[in-house]
Amino acid sequence: MRPIFFCLVIALTAMLSSACGDYANSLKGDVKPPQASGPNPNNLPNPNTVPKPGGGLGYTVNLSPVLISEVLVNPGASQGSQYVELLNSSLLSSDIGGWVITDGNSTFTFPFGFQISAGSRVLVQLGTHGAATGSVQFAPSFNALPVNQGSLALLRSGNEVIDFVQWGGSPNSYEGAAASYFVWPAGDFLAVAPTGESYNFVGGTVGSSAWAISPATPGQ
C-alpha cells in the first residue's frame, strides 16, 4: 500500500509542476516590466539634435574690452596723418601684443607684450614715423585709407575679428568676417566724414548706430 501511495504522490507532483510550467510559459510573452514614473534613462535626448546656442536674430555687444574708438580718415591740413584709436574700456590692463589693425591691404601689428592700461587709449598714427610710446604707436608702412569707401578691422590671433568699422559703402575687406563674429552687421556702413571730422564710437550696440561723425579728438 505504501509504495502505491508514494507513486501517486510522485505522479501528482509531476503533473502539478508541468501545469505550473505551462502556465508560466503562457504568461511569459504577456508580462511587461514595471514602468518608472520618472524620466526613462533609455530615452535621453540625442545630443546631436539638441538645439545649440547661436547668435540669435540680433547682434550682440562686443565682449572684448578693447575696441576701436575713433578713426580719422580725412584729416585737415593741421591734423597731420590718418589715425586709429583704441580704447580699453575695462577696469584691468589688457595685453594686445600681436593684435593687428588692417584695412585688408595694409597691416599694423602691436609689439609683443604691448599693454593698454585700464580705461586708457592708444593712438596708431598711419603712414608716418615717430617715437613709439605706450599711448602712441606709428605705422609708417600703412597705406592711406580710402576717404570715400573703406573699412578697418581689429584682429586677434590672426583672424578673429574683435572690432570693425566701415564707411562710404559696402562691401569692404573683413565685412563678412565681422558679421560672422557679430561685431558689425553685413551691408551696414557710415556716411563719409567731412574733412577734419572722424568716426567716433559712442557706445550701445554694434554697427553704424553705435558711431557718430564729429570733430576729431585724438587721445581723448
**Backbone angles phi and psi of 152, in degrees to 5:** -140, 140
CA distance 182 to 156: 15
pLDDT score of 77:
87
Map out the domains of the chain as residue ranges: 66-215
Ordered per-residue pLDDT tens for the chain, 220 residues: 444 444 444 444 445 444 445 544 444 455 555 555 555 555 555 544 444 343 344 444 457 899 999 999 999 988 899 999 999 999 999 999 999 999 999 999 999 999 999 999 999 999 999 999 999 999 999 999 999 999 999 999 888 999 999 999 999 999 999 999 999 999 999 999 999 999 999 998 889 999 999 999 998 8
Q: Which residues pair with 178 in a beta bridge?
A: none
Fold of 66-215: Immunoglobulin-like (2.60.40)
The Cα 156–Cα 144 span in angstroms is: 22
